[in-house]
């Protein structure tokens, strides 16, 4: 278990301005009543409920053990596409889970499978080459981004 739930409280010194304390209490009452507090807690702490401890530990371990080996390639993909390397790395991690023996134990059809065999440049895709996977995934993401309407 990651840890026991801890209450969150705002503390003020004993000689705090009573007007500041009243405004803080009013603010907390408002965000509690209008649902803002629930949304903020979910945004910043919701992952704790959604992720199993094993998944968190495994992710942190892979961040330490695998990411340094590929960071330069992710940064190169950023330079080519303008997409933040951390987003590319996160998507690569999610899209290509690799088991301890180099295979993908619960492999579903990802974007590389959808592109294979369509006659385009991805037909020579070799999933055993991480640098090619990173580059192809970043190009695919950039293609999707480029199809979105301007805002």
Q: Are 38 and 96 in contact (CB under 8 A)?
A: no
End-to-end CA distance of the chain: 43
Query: What is the dihedral sign for C-alpha 96, 55, 57, 36?
Result: positive
Annotated catalytic, 95? yes
> Of the listed 4, 19, 75, 95, which one is catalytic?
95
Residue 11's SS3 state is coil
The per-residue DSSP string of 129-149 comes to: -HHHHHHHHHHHHHHHHHHSP
CA distances from 34 to 20, 30, 38, 40 (A): 21, 6, 9, 12
Which residue, chain included where needed, has tokens 């499978």? 113
Q: 53 is written with which tokens?
A: 């401890």
Q: Give the residue numbers annotated as catalytic, written as ranges.
A: 95
């Amino acid at each position: 278990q990651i840890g026991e739930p801890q209450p969150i409280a705002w503390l003020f010194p004993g000689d705090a301005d009573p007007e500041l304390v009243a405004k803080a209490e009013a603010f907390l009452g408002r965000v509690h009543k209008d649902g803002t507090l629930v949304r903020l807690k979910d945004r910043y702490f919701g992952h704790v409920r959604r992720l199993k401890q094993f998944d968190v530990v495994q992710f942190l371990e892979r961040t330490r053990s695998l990411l340094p080996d590929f960071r330069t390639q992710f940064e190169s993909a950023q330079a080519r596409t303008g997409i933040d390397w951390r987003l590319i790395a996160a998507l690569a991690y999610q899209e290509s889970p690799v088991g301890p023996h180099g295979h993908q134990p619960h492999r579903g059809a990802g974007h590389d499978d959808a592109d294979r065999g369509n006659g385009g440049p991805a037909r020579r895709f070799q999933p055993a080459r991480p640098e090619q996977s990173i580059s192809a995934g970043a190009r695919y993401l950039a293609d999707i981004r480029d199809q979105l309407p301007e805002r």
